[in-house]
Structure 1
Amino acid sequence: MPRVPAYFDAFLAAIAQGAEIDHVHLGHWDEPEAVTPSRARAGFAEAQARLSERLVAMLDVGPTDRVLDVGSGFGGTLRALRRSHPTAALVGLNVDARQLAVSLRRDAAPMNATWIAADACRLPFAEAIFDRLLCVEAAFHFRSRLDFLTEARRVLRRGGVLVMSDILLTPPPDGLAALSDRLEADLGPWPAKWVSLAEIRRDAARAGFALTVHDATAHTGPSYHTIAPDERADRTGGAILRDLQRSGRLRYLYLRLAA
């Protein structure tokens, strides 16, 4: 079974102490240039929910659709889907049974949702049984984006849609090894860190998808006031992402892949 990112240990510990954490991804602001650091921090949870809402809207879920959320985390996006699409059939999949347990505790026996522990690159489903797939800020953790996209295409019906958010990094001119090591230690597994949009397009085409790209880099930028709020010399993985974003070497993309 693939390795779970170590940073989830801290989130799980906080939840055990009573914290309410719905999402473990960046947030979306419609007017990021107007957001001050204090406003970004105060509104981070709302912005995280807004990012999920943006991706769900891109899915265009029908009332009887069968929807799979790959890398479902603590279930926040699925809970929002249950509220907005109460007649859709929802499945949350995660490699970490601890995260699924949190979802189950918070969603007392929902009639239209189930949770499964499995590998995103080896989906335990028959061919063509889902209408929509969702993957929020998780694919870079998978051992291979191409393997995941190939599996996603296999389990999607013809005309189905996969919507995902992804982080693409352009390597800096120096210090690459040290940056890679720190990103891996703090935010890994991240098997392919330095990936271009051209490579994403190639993988999408090889898997059988037509790809539409929405660049949300600026809209997610205020997130770094929360995940990397200071300028310490001892840089964390979050601070490395912040600096790559500021230098134009990080792109945060909303991807819609039509089968």
Structure 2
Amino acid sequence: MTDPVVLPEFESFGDQTFKGLDNPEVATAATQALLNEERNSGQPVIDSPGENRLTLERGICRGGVWYREAEVRELTGADEEAIAAAGSNSAKVFETLLLRGVQTVGDEPMSQGLASELLIGDREYLVMAIRRATFGNDLEFEELPCPHCEELVDLTVPLDAIPFTRLDDPEQNEYFVPLRRGAVAFVRLPTGEDQAAILAIKGDNVARQDSEILRRCVLRIRHTDGTEVKNPPAVQLGMADRKAILRFLTETQPGPRYADFSFTHETCGKEVPLPISLAVLFRGM
């Protein structure tokens, strides 16, 4: 039996690498080093806030017109208190960041409904922009041990260096995924509302989470004889077809790929995985 395709956990911002890391021990060491660095470094270096406007990959559609321009602002002490009130619930922290840090998308003020409507990748891009407006464009790490040669590394990571996936056609709402036996699935990309529905499923039942995202995002399936089934029951899809659709939804979702960041250590020439999390982006808050 193949490993199940796991929908992204919140801490990875909806970013998933299905092939996995070639060396999980290296990733573990890098992550632990980040945690140690965070505990010992105090407040991050604060640069001058950058441009607070950005262009989303999809944005919102109003009256047949797409609006992709968004504006964020620097977080204040009042925002910090609101974020702290969200406690350890990372989903609430993320939503609080969006609701307080995003001013407008198009000409529309940010709201819970608007945040739910946005693609997951657009939401993650907005959080990156909020971080840039608040603390600057660079993530600073001091004495980060290389897991290969153990040399301590001082590293500056520009947010622009984080891998980013873009949409070929921002206004495309429907995609097709080839399935086994010549069938084709027509799907849409998950939004914040879909993400919330997945997070609402209690426990670690990954199969149920997979079924929920498939139920919400698979619009119809066309078979080789031309017949179509709208909103097909996710539990009746073959495992291989389920995996193919979930992989497509994840790989096509636009936005920053925080979990895919790595750097080359010049001394030993080795590639070091350095996944970026929400805690790393806003450490010190």
Rg bigger for which structure?
2
Taking structure 1 as the reference length, what is the TM-score of the superposition? 0.28
Structure with more contact order per residue of length (Cα contacts < 8 Å, sep ≥ 6): 2
TM-score, scaled to structure 2: 0.27
